[in-house]
């Protein structure tokens, strides 16, 4: 404000025309559905003869199951995977002719949820299998899928249990699995010997279920080659622009861009400290941008520039991007606010009200995640409720 202007003068000059909430939101998230569908088509092509499904669990990795599901369905995806039945029920109106697989299976009391929304349970234990058989005895034939553990030691029938089931001539005719699936525990590491071992084991199981489609590969497995593709692949994080493979440049487009508004730009003297605990001491006179984002919004405390144990092993905290430059987080990330050092940006190029990119087009998701000692999955799925969202529709 010029020195000769009063606050009253400034108020009179303001334009109170109603603005788009996205343009003034403290936090905003842009979801590029064109990039999402381009990524799906890329992964579909990499899947070769196999169909590419789409994993949309955890609200499409935090980006919105309704909008992402719709875009993927119109792009051609016809096999979707969710974690729990309620996610499948939410997705169903947006993917009307798709098969929707529920990875956590089915439990007593959920039958109507599955049948009313045409969901396919993925059975992963003897207990679920026994319950499902009892359901079929009353209802009659209904599709299911079987998950087999080939070395992950997470969910799934054992290999012996699965093969015994395949060879059981007494199993009811109403029991008709439409998919056998397993999961690679080190698929993101192309040189891992366990990949070949799991592939061999899963091949044995899939041959036992002759005529039933098989699926082994999530995002990472798609990059391991056609031997891993079987009939159906299950891309997840790669759809949303995250890294699928270690030691491989990410060929996919970023989908989500998160930004925080600068609430204040303040001057601070050399020797002063920044944020809780005073863990960052300024070595020069500085300009600090205080942005409206914190760990309540999924911008993790481990992204702090100092004052956390992680900085002893991962020296650098996070960076943001503003006015064409990368700017570091200084001090601790707090619940609602994070402080960035913008000293090296000319004062004329930045002001309160501007937005700092947290991750997205200029700050790669997984680079930011590594600064927090974590993975892109956690940043996406941890997005808080305060982001104003804008979806860029794909071209028809």
pLDDT tier at 18 (50, 70, 90 boundaries)? confident
**Residue 388 and residue 25 in contact, taking contact as beta carbons nearer than 8 Å:** yes
46 — phi, psi (to 5°)? -70, -20
Shared-domain flag, residues 118 and 222: yes
Alpha carbons within 13 A on the beta-carbon side of 41 = 12
CATH of the domain at 324: 2.40.37.10
Residue 53 inside a domain? The answer is yes
Query: Which of 57, 61, 240, 295 is flagged as catalytic?
Result: 57
- Domain with 365, as residue range(s), is 7-28+255-392
- Dump pLDDT digits (tens) for 116-151: 999 999 999 999 999 999 999 999 999 999 999 999
pLDDT tier at 173 (50, 70, 90 boundaries)? confident
**Residue 354 and residue 347 in contact, taking contact as beta carbons nearer than 8 Å:** no
- First-to-last C-alpha distance (Å) of the chain: 47
Shared-domain flag, residues 280 and 228: no
Per-residue confidence (pLDDT) for residue 12, from 0 to 100: 61
Average pLDDT rounded to a whole number, residues 208-217: 97
Shared-domain flag, residues 215 and 288: no
Q: Cβ-count burial of 338 within 10 angstroms (0-12 exposed, 13-18 middle, 19+ buried)?
A: buried
Is residue 220 scored above 90 in pLDDT?
yes
Average pLDDT rounded to a whole number, residues 102-122: 97
Residue 57 bears catalytic tag: yes
**Residue 35 and residue 238 in contact, taking contact as beta carbons nearer than 8 Å:** no
Per-residue confidence (pLDDT) for residue 395, from 0 to 100: 81
**Residue 40 and residue 52 in contact, taking contact as beta carbons nearer than 8 Å:** yes
- Dump pLDDT digits (tens) for 21-60: 999 999 999 999 999 999 999 999 999 999 999 999 999 9
Shared-domain flag, residues 195 and 259: no
Query: What is the rounded distance in angstroms from the CA atom of residue 50 to the CA atom of residue 45?
Result: 9
**Residue 82 and residue 262 in contact, taking contact as beta carbons nearer than 8 Å:** no
pLDDT tier at 11 (50, 70, 90 boundaries)? low
Per-residue confidence (pLDDT) for residue 1, from 0 to 100: 46
Per-residue confidence (pLDDT) for residue 247, from 0 to 100: 87
| Domain end point (choices 217, 240, 263) | 240
**Residue 353 and residue 262 in contact, taking contact as beta carbons nearer than 8 Å:** yes
Query: Which of 94, 142, 240, 276 is flagged as catalytic?
Result: 276
CA distances from 219 to 68, 212, 224, 294, 362 (A): 17, 22, 10, 30, 23
Query: What is the rounded distance in angstroms from the CA atom of residue 330 to the CA atom of residue 360?
Result: 20
Residue 40 inside a domain? The answer is no
pLDDT tier at 6 (50, 70, 90 boundaries)? low
* Number of domains the chain is built from: 2
| Domain end point (choices 240, 263, 278) | 240
CATH of the domain at 183: 3.20.20.10
Is residue 3 scored above 70 in pLDDT?
no
- Dump pLDDT digits (tens) for 300-349: 999 999 999 999 999 999 999 999 999 999 999 999 999 999 999 999 99
Per-residue confidence (pLDDT) for residue 209, from 0 to 100: 97
- Dump pLDDT digits (tens) for 221-235: 999 999 999 999 999
Shared-domain flag, residues 171 and 70: yes
- Dump pLDDT digits (tens) for 257-276: 999 999 999 999 999 999 99
Residue 35 inside a domain? The answer is no
Residue 269 bears catalytic tag: no
Shared-domain flag, residues 120 and 187: yes
């Amino acid at each position: 404000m010029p020195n000769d202007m009063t606050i009253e003068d400034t108020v009179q000059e303001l334009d109170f025309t109603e603005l788009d909430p996205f343009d003034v939101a403290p936090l905003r998230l842009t979801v590029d559905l064109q990039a999402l569908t381009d990524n799906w088509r890329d992964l579909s092509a990499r899947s070769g003869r196999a169909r590419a499904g789409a994993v949309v669990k955890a609200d499409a990795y935090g980006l919105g199951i309704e909008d992402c599901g719709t875009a993927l369905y119109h792009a051609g995806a016809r096999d979707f995977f969710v974690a729990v039945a309620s996610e499948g029920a939410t997705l169903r109106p947006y993917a009307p002719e798709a098969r929707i697989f529920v990875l956590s299976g089915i439990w007593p009391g959920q039958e109507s949820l599955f049948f009313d929304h045409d969901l396919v349970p993925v059975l992963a234990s003897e207990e679920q299998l026994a319950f499902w058989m009892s359901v079929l005895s009353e209802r009659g034939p209904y599709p299911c899928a079987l998950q087999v553990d080939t070395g992950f030691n997470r969910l799934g029938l054992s290999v012996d249990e699965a093969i015994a089931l395949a060879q059981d001539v007494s199993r009811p005719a109403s029991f008709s699995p439409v998919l056998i699936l397993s999961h690679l525990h080190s698929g993101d590491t192309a040189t891992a010997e366990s990949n070949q071992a799991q592939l061999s084991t899963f091949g044995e199981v899939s041959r036992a279920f002759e005529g039933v489609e098989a699926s082994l590969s999530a995002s990472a497995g798609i990059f391991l080659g056609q031997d891993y593709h079987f009939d159906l692949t299950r891309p997840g994080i790669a759809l949303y622009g995250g890294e699928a493979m270690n030691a491989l440049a990410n060929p996919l487009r970023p989908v989500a861009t998160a930004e925080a508004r600068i609430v204040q730009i303040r001057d601070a003297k050399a020797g002063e400290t920044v944020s809780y605990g005073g863990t960052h001491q300024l070595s020069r006179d500085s300009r600090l941008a205080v942005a409206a984002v914190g760990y309540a919004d999924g911008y993790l405390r481990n992204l702090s520039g100092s004052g956390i144990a992680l900085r002893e092993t991962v020296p650098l905290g996070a960076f943001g991007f503003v006015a064409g430059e990368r700017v570091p987080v200084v001090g601790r990330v707090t619940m609602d606010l994070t402080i960035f050092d913008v000293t090296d940006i000319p004062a004329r190029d930045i002001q309160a009200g501007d937005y700092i990119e947290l991750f997205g087009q200029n700050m790669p998701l997984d680079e930011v995640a590594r600064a927090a000692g974590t993975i892109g999955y956690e940043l996406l799925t941890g997005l808080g409720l305060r982001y104003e969202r804008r979806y860029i529709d794909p071209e028809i």
